[in-house]
Structure 1
């Protein structure tokens, strides 16, 4: 398993539109084919329950660590005591013409990363689908 994943898109919508899309947890399955469900409220300190198409039989528990609207959002999850941890960062930057530079990256680490990483599904395609879905859904508004 790679120790990180990253997707980048230039979105033909302003950062606030993209931000509104990314911070509406219950709506994720309606626009994002990589997500089966996302339960919870996207607010600092809140827990999210994500089910993705790469592992539809597992629920990943994530914590919303940071929100800096409409620029940065950080989620994390993993094993207790930092033995294995994934940190997903969403970054939005305004571009000319009302467009948004969107990046989503996830970095995995911790002492058990080499062992646990063998059991984490490859998320390359899921990240690409997520990027495409953000770009398409934000344009639809």
Structure 2
């Protein structure tokens, strides 16, 4: 499903993302290079069109705070906690808004080595909570998913620039 911010997604498109989504991109760079770019949170303003700023204590149980640009819905700070870190394979954070029963998001970043020069980077975004149907109906998840697709493409360009 390809969405453009200027196009109003159908109700079916908006509700299809109610539980979450997955994005993936193949990058012509070793997995370690991709890992280093994604986990260099302070460098996000240099290249990331969706997560404009990020500050993290990169350790299980510690927090990450980041500023997402949700286009017509504005910019929003999110605070989450790292649940799992397996360098250089994956890391997972989870955060919530107000109370976990209202809105919880869990985000997994996966780094797979295809061969010595190629990697697959995937993001798995999972939503839960009472506000989720309302947020999906409003179209926020369509914008957010597109932001993560843009993140993937910007990461690909950055990693490939460093390697080739």
How many residue pairs match? The answer is 141
8 Å contact kept, 2:42–2:53: yes
1:74-113 equivalences under 5 Å are: 74-79=92-97, 80-113=99-132
For the residue of structure 2 that corresponds to 1:43, the secondary structure is coil
Q: Distance in 2 between matches of 1:48 and 1:56?
A: 20
Larger radius of gyration: 2
- Indicate how the Cα distance of structure 1 residues 9 and 57 shifts in structure 2: closer, same or farther if over 3 A, else same: closer
Structure 1 partner of 2:49:
33
Deviations 1:105-125, CA, capped at 9 Å, x for gaps = 101013443245556723122
Q: TM-score, structure 1 length as denominator?
A: 0.87
For the residue of structure 1 that corresponds to 2:76, the secondary structure is coil
- Indicate how the Cα distance of structure 1 residues 56 and 43 shifts in structure 2: closer, same or farther if over 3 A, else same: farther
Structure 1 partner of 2:5:
none
1:66-77 equivalences under 5 Å are: 66-77=84-95
For the residue of structure 2 that corresponds to 1:136, the secondary structure is helix
Over aligned residues, Cα RMSD in angstroms? 2.0
Moved over 3 A (4+): 115-120
- Indicate how the Cα distance of structure 1 residues 120 and 82 shifts in structure 2: closer, same or farther if over 3 A, else same: farther
Q: Distance in 2 between matches of 1:43 and 1:120?
A: 33
For the residue of structure 1 that corresponds to 2:107, the secondary structure is strand
- Indicate how the Cα distance of structure 1 residues 57 and 134 shifts in structure 2: closer, same or farther if over 3 A, else same: closer
Structure 2 partner of 1:58:
76
Query: Could you tell me how far 1:58 is from its partner in structure 2?
Result: 2.1
Are 2:39 and 1:23 aligned?
yes
8 Å contact kept, 1:25–1:42: no
Structure 1 partner of 2:149:
128
8 Å contact kept, 1:61–1:77: yes
